[in-house]
Amino acid sequence: MHRKALVTGGAGFIGSRLARALLAQGLEVVILDDLSMGRRENVPGGAAFLQGDVRSGEDVRRALQGVDIVFHEAARVSIRASLAAFHDDADVNFMGTLNLLQCLPKSDVRRLVFASSMAVYADSPAPDPVSEDHPTEPISPYGIAKLAAERYCLQICRDLGIACHVLRYFNTFGPGQAFTPYVGVVTIFVRRLLEGQAPVIFGDGEQRRDFVHVDDVVAANLLAMNSPADCGVFNVGTGRATSVNEIARLLCDRIAPGCMPEHREPHPGELRYSIADIRRIGVALGYRPATSLSERIGDVIEHVRSARQVRQ
Arithmetic mean of pLDDT, 93-105: 98
Per-chain mean pLDDT for the chain:
93
Rounded-to-integer distance, Cα 308 and Cα 251, Å: 17
User: Residue 6 in contact with residue 14, Cβ under 8 Å?
Assistant: no
**Longest C-alpha distance within the chain, in Å?**
60
pLDDT tens across 188-222, in order? 999 999 999 999 999 999 999 999 999 999 999 99
The answer on pLDDT for 179 being more than 70 is no
The answer on pLDDT for 79 being more than 80 is no
Query: According to the model, what pLDDT value does residue 230 have?
Result: 94
Rounded-to-integer distance, Cα 98 and Cα 24, Å: 30
User: Which is the catalytic residue, given 142, 169, 273, 287?
Assistant: 142
pTM for the whole thing? 0.94
Query: According to the model, what pLDDT value does residue 180 have?
Result: 63
Q: Say if 4-172+213-236 and 175-208+240-311 have the same CATH topology.
A: no
User: pLDDT grade, residue 174 (50/70/90)?
Assistant: very high
Query: According to the model, what pLDDT value does residue 47 have?
Result: 98
Output the CATH code of domain 4-172+213-236. Answer: 3.40.50.720
The answer on pLDDT for 95 being more than 90 is yes
Arithmetic mean of pLDDT, 213-238: 97
142 is catalytic: yes
Of 140, 34, 25, 24, the C-alpha closest to 89 is 140
User: pLDDT grade, residue 77 (50/70/90)?
Assistant: confident
Query: According to the model, what pLDDT value does residue 268 have?
Result: 80
CA separation (Å) from 147 to 37, 49, 209, 268?
A: 22, 29, 20, 19
The answer on pLDDT for 14 being more than 90 is yes
What residue spans define the domains of the chain?
4-172+213-236, 175-208+240-311
The answer on pLDDT for 177 being more than 90 is no
Arithmetic mean of pLDDT, 107-136: 96
pLDDT tens across 20-59, in order? 999 999 999 999 999 998 999 999 999 999 999 999 999 9
Rounded-to-integer distance, Cα 73 and Cα 132, Å: 20
Is 47 buried (19+), middle (13-18) or exposed (0-12) by CB count in 10 A?
Answer: buried
Q: Does domain 175-208+240-311 have CATH number 3.90.25.10?
A: yes
The answer on pLDDT for 312 being more than 60 is no
Of 247, 255, 244, the C-alpha closest to 193 is 255
User: pLDDT grade, residue 267 (50/70/90)?
Assistant: confident
Arithmetic mean of pLDDT, 57-78: 95
DSSP assignment of the chain equals ---EEEEETTTSHHHHHHHHHHHHTT-EEEEEE-SSSS-GGGSPTT-EEEE--TT-HHHHHHHTTT--EEEE------HHHHHHSHHHHHIIIIIHHHHHHHHSTTS---EEEEEEEGGGSPPPSSS--B-TTS----SSHHHHHHHHHHHHHHHHHHHHT-EEEEEEE-EEE-TTPPP-SSS-HHHHHHHHHHTT---EEESSS--EE-EEEHHHHHHHHHHHHT-SSSEEEEEES-S--EEHHHHHHHHHHHHSTT---EEEPPPTT--SEE-B--HHHHHHH-------HHHHHHHHHHHHHHHHHHH-
Arithmetic mean of pLDDT, 101-127: 96
> pLDDT above 90 covers what percent of the chain?
84
